Structure 1
Amino acid sequence: MSKRAAQPAETSVVQLGARTTPSQTRARNTLEAVLSTAGDLLGEVGFERLTTNLVCERAGMTPPALYRYFPNKYAILSELARRLMDAQDEAVFAWVRNGGLQAASLETAVEKNRRLQQQVNEITRQIPGGIWIMRALRAVPLLRDIRIASRDKVARHISERLTETYPNVPESELFRAARLTTEVAYAATEMVLEEPALDEARINEDVCWMVAMHYKRLADRYAQSR
């Protein structure tokens, strides 16, 4: 069945993001309850059928109370999307800090990348509505900038740290390679979460070999052109 996203008629006037950033504990708890409820509902009904009224009903609050925090469902989706991307991004940054980019062999590089891929998959599973948030990021134009910003932030972080490993490769090439491999890894996460019957371990291994071989070919290309 097709799951096309219902789009607001006037995308230019749709407000995204929370109206306020609560400072009091009670208000923060309310905001977190809204997001948790919306995430659970996404897993049940999908983003097309998600409504603020449905969130209010499940969370036991009135629409005016919810609108103090989020003006519409797209604002809720936007916050959920940012949080998912931040969680995935932080896993990558921690992996880099712990030496994920350093490998003495292709096999080691593949294994390190495989562990990261599995971790990102698990992070997405553990977040309520995680796969539906990823679907919304792909299907809802209002949310696509969140995904693009995340991709570019991760790609920039990786490419900047690869300059020492690949000193002969131009920075623009490293950034392009990092963008490409980030997209491929993201697509693999979508693939295994969309279709649980697939062999996740095999897909993770395959995509990590693609990534490792791509960087090896890039390094070899510029080593030969010296």
Structure 2
Amino acid sequence: MDVKTQPLQKRSRQTYEAILAAAGALLEEVGIEQLSTNLVCKRAKLSPPALYRYFPNKYALLRELGARLMQRQDEEVFDWMENGGLRAGDVEEIRQSILVVQDRVNAITMKEPGGRWIMRALRAVPTLHEVRIASRELVAARMSEALARIFPKASPHKLLVAARLATEVGYAAGEMAVDEPEHAEELIDELAWMFALYFERFRT
């Protein structure tokens, strides 16, 4: 299900990107079940062999789209942490900081062609779970390191557990916000309160 080969030449890279762009656009139109390599070929104006050179099936396409989306989301969170996002002062300041980063992450998903469906695919398709899990583990590890610098007296194990829980809840809330845009603001506000109050306990 992995990508067969990575493009090296400029023309090959253009073809590769055209395939992914077509797949993302089609996901938004037809969803996961109706997406097919034939539809992608037609939209990208490519022959099936041109697509199969890189992607053996639609799940390989979804995997690459998912990995790219996870990377963009993760980079936003890492940038937030590196710029002191977790170092805000009181509970309200932490809440506001978390609101900012979660809004940015959700905006990345909504801006991505087919972003909502990519997130759903990562959640629903068993063979894609490892993409999601790898992202969560990476974010949790980086978050626990950031928390350790802020709360040096806290147990490293407890900080890792806290980071893992926060990451899981953050992903879940983000998925809910994307699936229920009419409730997104309320969901993210509740998430920010949960995180702010949860991390506050490490100050004592």
The normalised TM-score by structure 1 is 0.87
Give the number of aligned pairs. 204
Q: 1:207 aligns with which of 181, 191, 196?
A: 191
- Root-mean-square deviation (CA, aligned residues, Å) is 1.1
Once residues 169 and 49 of structure 2 are traced to their aligned partners in structure 1, the CA distance between those partners, rounded to angstroms, is 42
1:121 and 2:106 aligned: yes
1:156 and 2:152 aligned: no
Once residues 59 and 155 of structure 2 are traced to their aligned partners in structure 1, the CA distance between those partners, rounded to angstroms, is 40
Which consecutive unaligned segments of at least 5 residues does structure 2 have?
Answer: none
1:115 deviation in Å? 0.2
1:202 deviation in Å? 2.3
Amino acid at match of 1:20: T
Q: Deviations over 1:114-151 (max 9, x none)?
A: 00000001000011110101101111010001101100
1:52 deviation in Å? 0.5
Secondary structure at the counterpart of residue 150 of structure 2 = coil
1:97 deviation in Å? 1.3
Amino acid at match of 2:198: H
Amino acid at match of 2:199: Y
Q: 1:100 aligns with which of 85, 89, 95?
A: 85
Once residues 182 and 147 of structure 2 are traced to their aligned partners in structure 1, the CA distance between those partners, rounded to angstroms, is 35
Report what 1:36 is aligned to.
21
Once residues 135 and 214 of structure 1 are traced to their aligned partners in structure 2, the CA distance between those partners, rounded to angstroms, is 28
- Identical amino acids, percent of aligned pairs: 51
Report what 1:192 is aligned to.
177
1:192 deviation in Å? 1.6
Secondary structure at the counterpart of residue 168 of structure 1 = coil
The normalised TM-score by structure 2 is 0.97
1:164 deviation in Å? 2.2
1:179 deviation in Å? 1.1
Once residues 114 and 100 of structure 2 are traced to their aligned partners in structure 1, the CA distance between those partners, rounded to angstroms, is 23
1:74 and 2:59 aligned: yes
Q: What aligned pairs does 1:38-57 form with structure 2 within 5 A after superposition? A: 38-57=23-42
1:22 deviation in Å? 1.0
Q: 1:142 aligns with which of 121, 127, 133?
A: 127
Q: Deviations over 1:166-195 (max 9, x none)?
A: 122211111111111111111111112112
Once residues 196 and 204 of structure 1 are traced to their aligned partners in structure 2, the CA distance between those partners, rounded to angstroms, is 11
1:196 deviation in Å? 2.1
1:102 deviation in Å? 0.6
1:78 deviation in Å? 0.4
Once residues 197 and 161 of structure 1 are traced to their aligned partners in structure 2, the CA distance between those partners, rounded to angstroms, is 33
